[in-house]
Amino acid sequence: MAMTLTQKILAQKAGLESVEAGRLITARLDLVMGNDITSPVAIKEFEKSGGGGVFDKDKVCLVMDHFTPNKDIKSAQQCKICRDFSRERGLENFFDVGDMGIEHALLPEKGIVGAGDCVIGADSHTCTYGALGAFSTGVGSTDMAYGMREGKAWFKVPAAVKVELVNKPAKNISGKDVILHLIGLIGVDGALYRSLEFVGDGVKYLSMDDRFTVCNMAIEAGAKNGIFAVDAVTRRYLKAHCKKPVVELHADADAEYERAVVIDLAALKPTIAFPHLPSNTRTVDKAGEIKIDQVVIGSCTNGRLGDLAAAAAVLKNRRVKKGVRAIIIPATNKIYSDALKKGFIRTFMDSGCVVSTPTCGPCLGGHMGILAEGERCVATTNRNFVGRMGHTNSEVYLASPYIAASSAVLGYIGEVK
């Protein structure tokens, strides 16, 4: 039977010739991942089930990123549980201060995820790795515990939504604009428990950083996963980062999709998600001059080198508007180091920004940029729910690094010409 790309990966991992939407399967896992918030719960369940060793020391990965460096006693205790578990089980892939990064930027960079892999992570934005042609999805801590022990997980095979990207995007249009436009079009439940499969001649114009951003926010449309097929761009990235064999799978020409959406990249304008949903989108020309208090450029969505380059291009020889706090958070130590070599960090410092160690920090209201009552922030993060970044009476506006940096200079939501 004809299958989508996601269905082909799941069939392979389940040891089946084919699978159809709605079928319940048990699939072999190539990676089980958790962070300093979700892993302690999974570890507790793991120990309750009898303890012992994990199914594969190379395929269980713990990343300390949400409240790291630890901001208080509770976060320190959380990380200690993970550190002790990783040491006792001899985990090969444990990342902490000094060799760290935000999980969904770090794992591809380290070559831990490859094309054709099946990955679960106790974090909703695990869907990021679909950019590499992998099936990856977020799960709860109990599923993570079972995955660590057995190396398996159960899934209901998702139906699919085909998103066809056509034409070449204009200057300063990024993956963030693509995914915000899509979410604005179909809504936060427009792909509920569906696979978002990105195809079309426009895909070749998207960098890997763009694709990571697009897949990262698939969950914000309710999707089980987002995925791109492997192409020349993917191969170049994997050759530079990953030693695993490249498993190239493609959807059948007659694969069944529940819905098809066409996005003309050439017609896109810089897009912003207004409070308090990622689907509440407007283009920058219709945003109005909304005064802001803070800008955050970073996160698992937009903290990669290409994102920092876009922000630095705006901020070079400009100053952050007085009264605006601009926080730059490189997503990994390597990205920080590369940005330093390219002069981006100097540009940020000279323009009046502060640069943080890699951390999820303010994205989830953790630390490094909490908002007070009535404050507004333009952020390159992935969620703008009520109270997401601080006080319940604060506002978060989601945007690309280009728009975030422009807004920092202007002091209001806008585009530097």
* CA atoms of 90 and 102, how far apart (whole Å): 22
- Sequential pLDDT tens for the chain (417 residues): 899 999 999 999 999 999 999 999 999 999 999 999 999 999 999 999 888 999 999 999 999 999 989 889 999 999 999 999 999 999 999 999 988 899 999 999 999 999 999 999 999 999 999 999 999 999 999 999 999 999 999 999 999 999 999 999 999 999 999 999 999 999 999 999 999 999 999 999 999 999 999 999 999 999 999 999 999 999 999 999 999 999 999 999 999 999 999 999 999 999 999 999 999 999 999 999 999 999 999 999 999 999 999 999 999 999 999 999 999 999 999 999 999 999 999 999 999 999 999 999 998 898 999 999 999 999 999 999 999 999 999 999 999 999 999 999 999 999 998
Backbone angles phi, psi at 136, to 5 degrees: -140, 140
Residue 323 Rama label (left phi>0; alpha psi -120 to 50; beta)? left
Looking at residue 14, its pLDDT comes to 97
In a domain, 415, yes or no: no
Looking at residue 151, its pLDDT comes to 97
Looking at residue 143, its pLDDT comes to 95
Measured at the alpha carbon of residue 24, what is the angle toward residues 19 and 29, in degrees to the nearest 5? 80
Three-state secondary structure call for residue 354: strand
Domain final residue pick, 263, 286, 309: 263
Q: In total, how many domains does the chain have?
A: 2
Answer whether 399's CB lies under 8 Å from 270's CB: yes
* CA atoms of 100 and 98, how far apart (whole Å): 6
Three-state secondary structure call for residue 291: strand
CA distances from 398 to 105, 180, 199 (A): 19, 9, 25
* CA atoms of 191 and 193, how far apart (whole Å): 6
Separate counts of helices (H) and strands (E) for the chain? 13, 18
256 shares a domain with 306: no
Three-state secondary structure call for residue 32: strand
pLDDT digits (tens, 9 = 90+) for 264-319: 999 999 999 999 999 999 999 999 999 999 999 999 999 999 999 999 999 999 99
* CA atoms of 309 and 297, how far apart (whole Å): 11
* CA atoms of 145 and 33, how far apart (whole Å): 10
The helix or strand, by DSSP H or E, that contains position 210, with its residue range, turns out to be: helix 208-216
Looking at residue 25, its pLDDT comes to 97
* CA atoms of 265 and 178, how far apart (whole Å): 8
Closest CA to 184 of 260, 283, 302: 283
Answer whether 101's CB lies under 8 Å from 332's CB: yes
* CA atoms of 175 and 172, how far apart (whole Å): 10
* CA atoms of 173 and 284, how far apart (whole Å): 12
In a domain, 15, yes or no: yes
71 shares a domain with 22: yes
Backbone angles phi, psi at 362, to 5 degrees: -70, -20
Residue 185 CB burial class (10 angstroms; 0-12, 13-18, ≥19): middle
CATH code, 360: 3.30.499.10
356 shares a domain with 304: yes
Domain final residue pick, 263, 290, 323: 263
In a domain, 416, yes or no: no
224 shares a domain with 285: no
**Cβ–Cβ contacts within 10 Å for residue 398, how many?**
32
245 shares a domain with 297: no
256 shares a domain with 283: no
Structural domain boundaries enclosing 362? 272-410
Q: Hunting for tokens 């993570």 — which residue is that?
A: 144
Q: Are strands 294-297 and 93-95 parallel, antiparallel or unpaired?
A: unpaired
The helix or strand, by DSSP H or E, that contains position 263, with its residue range, turns out to be: strand 259-264
Closest CA to 301 of 202, 217, 197, 196: 217
Looking at residue 50, its pLDDT comes to 87
280 shares a domain with 159: no
Q: Model's pTM, two decimal places?
A: 0.95
282 shares a domain with 254: no
302 shares a domain with 232: no
Domain final residue pick, 218, 246, 263: 263
**Cβ–Cβ contacts within 10 Å for residue 176, how many?**
31
197 shares a domain with 118: yes
